C-alpha cells in the first residue's frame, strides 16, 4: 500500500514537472513569435516609409517650432505703408540618394499674421538654408540642383500641399563642390521669379491661411551630384496700407522714427 502511494506521488510529481516545462516552453515560443511578428511589422513599415521617401512626390507636415519678431513697425510716409519683419523657425530637411532625386511638400502656417487690416501682403520672403553636395564629381553641382518654391495664397492647397501650383523660388542652390556646403539666407535671387521684391499683385496676402512649400534635392548620374537641403527658417516682411493720415500725425510718426534711429536731440 505504501509502495503504491509512493509510486503515485512520483507520478504526480513527474506530471507536474512536465506541465511546468510545457508552460515555460509555450511562454517562450509565444514570446519569440510575437517578437518576430513585431519585427516583421516594423520592417514592413520601414519599407513603406522608404518607398514613400524614394517616390516622387512625398508630402510631410510642416514643423514650425517658434516665431520671433525681427523688427518694429516701420512707417513709410511717402508710400503710406507700414512694414514689419518676422521669422519662423522651420524644421525640414530633404536629401537625394545616389539613385533618386527627391521632392517634399508641406504647408507653412505663419506664426505671425499680418499686423494690419488693410491691403496686407508679404513684400519679401527669405529662407535660411544649408545646401550640401554629397556627390563625388569634383566639378561640383550646377545652379538650381536643389531649390525651394513657395505658392501664393491663391496657388496654395492647405489640404494637400503637393496639389498646389508653384511659380516663385525662395531658394535656388548655387554651384557647390563635392563634399562642400553652402549656408546662408536667400530669397531666390539666383533665378526668377523669386520672392525678393513682392507686391500686392503677387498674391502673398495670407487670405488662405497657409502657404504651400516645395523642396527639391537633385541627383545626377547615379551619385556624381547628390544634393541635400536643411531648411532652418523663413524670414518674412508684412506690408500693409494705412488710411490717409493727417499731416500732423504723419509728421509725428516720422519724428518718432528718426528719434529711434538717431536718438533724442
DSSP annotation of 109 reads -
**Half-sphere exposure at residue 115, Cβ-oriented, CA atoms within 13 angstroms:** 17
pTM above 0.75, yes or no: no
Q: CB of 130 within 8 A of CB of 180?
A: no
Q: CB of 57 within 8 A of CB of 51?
A: no
119, pLDDT greater than 50:
yes
Residue 239, number of CB atoms within 10 A of its CB: 23
Domain chopping of the chain, boundaries: 1-53, 55-262
Please give the grid coordinates belonging to residue 150: 513657395
pLDDT digits (tens, 9 = 90+) for 131-158: 999 988 888 899 999 999 999 999 999 9
261, pLDDT greater than 60:
no
The whole-number pLDDT of residue 263 equals 53
* Burial track 46-75 (b if 16+ CB lie within 10 A, e otherwise): eeeeeeebeeeebebebebeebeeeeeeeb
Q: CB of 121 within 8 A of CB of 153?
A: no
Give the 3-state secondary structure of residue 262: helix
Amino acid at each position: 500500500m505504501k509502495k503504491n502511494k509512493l509510486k503515485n506521488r512520483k507520478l504526480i510529481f513527474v506530471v507536474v514537472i512536465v506541465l511546468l516545462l510545457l508552460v515555460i516552453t509555450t511562454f517562450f515560443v509565444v514570446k519569440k513569435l510575437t517578437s518576430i511578428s513585431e519585427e516583421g511589422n516594423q520592417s514592413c513599415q520601414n519599407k513603406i516609409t522608404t518607398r514613400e521617401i524614394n517616390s516622387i512626390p512625398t508630402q510631410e507636415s510642416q514643423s514650425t517650432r517658434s516665431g520671433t519678431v525681427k523688427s518694429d513697425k516701420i512707417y513709410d510716409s511717402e508710400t503710406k505703408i507700414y512694414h514689419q519683419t518676422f521669422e519662423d523657425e522651420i524644421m525640414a530637411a530633404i536629401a537625394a540618394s545616389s539613385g533618386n532625386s527627391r521632392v517634399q511638400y508641406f504647408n507653412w502656417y505663419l506664426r505671425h499674421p499680418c499686423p494690419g487690416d488693410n491691403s496686407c501682403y508679404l513684400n519679401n520672403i527669405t529662407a535660411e538654408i544649408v545646401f550640401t553636395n554629397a556627390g563625388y564629381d569634383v566639378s561640383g553641382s550646377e545652379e538650381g540642383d536643389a531649390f525651394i518654391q513657395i505658392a501664393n495664397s491663391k496657388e496654395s492647397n492647405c489640404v494637400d500641399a503637393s496639389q498646389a501650383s508653384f511659380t516663385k523660388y525662395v531658394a535656388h542652390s548655387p554651384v557647390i563642390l563635392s563634399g562642400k556646403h553652402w549656408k546662408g539666407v536667400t530669397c531666390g535671387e539666383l533665378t526668377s521669379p523669386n520672392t525678393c521684391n513682392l507686391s500686392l499683385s503677387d498674391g502673398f496676402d495670407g487670405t488662405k491661411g497657409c502657404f504651400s512649400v516645395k523642396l527639391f534635392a537633385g541627383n545626377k548620374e547615379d551619385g556624381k551630384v547628390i544634393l541635400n537641403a536643411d531648411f532652418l527658417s523663413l524670414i518674412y516682411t508684412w506690408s500693409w496700407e494705412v488710411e490717409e493720415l493727417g499731416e500732423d500725425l504723419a509728421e509725428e510718426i516720422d519724428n518718432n522714427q528718426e528719434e529711434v534711429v538717431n536718438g533724442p536731440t
